[in-house]
Amino acid sequence: MIMSKEIISHSGKEFKDFDYSGQAISAREFYNCRFINCNFGKSDFREVYFEECVFIDSDLSMANICDVGFRNVIFEGCKILGLDFSVCNKLAALFSFKSCMMDYCSFISMKLKKIHFKDCSMKEVDFTFADLSLSIFDCCALDRAVFQNSVLENSDFRTAVNFTIDVDSNRMRGAKFLSTQLEALLSRYQLDIS
């Protein structure tokens, strides 16, 4: 009979300047914790749950977050390159991002209603089949981001830049754009917009 690992809980703690890069982190729960300037690059998280936590100026690039829970988690000033959020625990996936570099991340098929992205670099982020209803892309750079069969209803793109969205391939009722962004919505039709 295989014994399951005992879960270690952390509550109200601050982790600062820790380097966990490339390490396995397992059987942990973090409640109301702060991670400041920590390196989790290429770390392997297993049976890990974060609730009401804040990551500040930390690196989570290329970490394995399969089945990890992120409930009410804030990422601020973080480097999150290539993170596949689509494999995290979708029942405990509620987060916001501010001033993060999150290029090449994947949110495929995720329910991300009311998610707030502010001042983020989001190059080639994949939102295929994602529900982004009522979400805000505030001053975000969306170079080559993929919106395919995405739900963008009532989402706000008015201050976002460098995006291209096919209006025929996404649900977009009530989505907010500036008139100067029409070219990004109509590029498929190869119109000459002046």
Give residue-wise pLDDT tens across range 129-141.
999 999 999 999 9
Give residue-wise pLDDT tens across range 18-63.
999 999 999 999 999 999 999 999 999 988 999 999 999 999 999 9
40 CB-near residues (< 8 Å, 6+ apart) = 20, 21, 25, 58, 59, 60, 63
Give residue-wise pLDDT tens across range 147-192.
999 999 999 999 999 999 998 999 999 999 988 877 767 666 554 5
Residue 9 clears pLDDT 90, i.e. is over it: yes
Cβ burial of 91 (10 Å; 0-12, 13-18, 19+) is: exposed
How far is it, in rounded angstroms, from Cα 134 to Cα 174?
A: 9
Q: Work out the percent of the chain whose per-residue pLDDT is above 70.
A: 92
> What pLDDT, on a 0 to 100 scale, did the predictor assign at position 1?
40
Residue 125 CB neighbours (<10 A): 24
Domains of the chain (ranges plus CATH)? 17-189 (2.160.20.80)
Residue 124 clears pLDDT 50, i.e. is over it: yes
Tokens 């975000």 sit on residue: 140
How far is it, in rounded angstroms, from Cα 85 to Cα 106?
A: 6
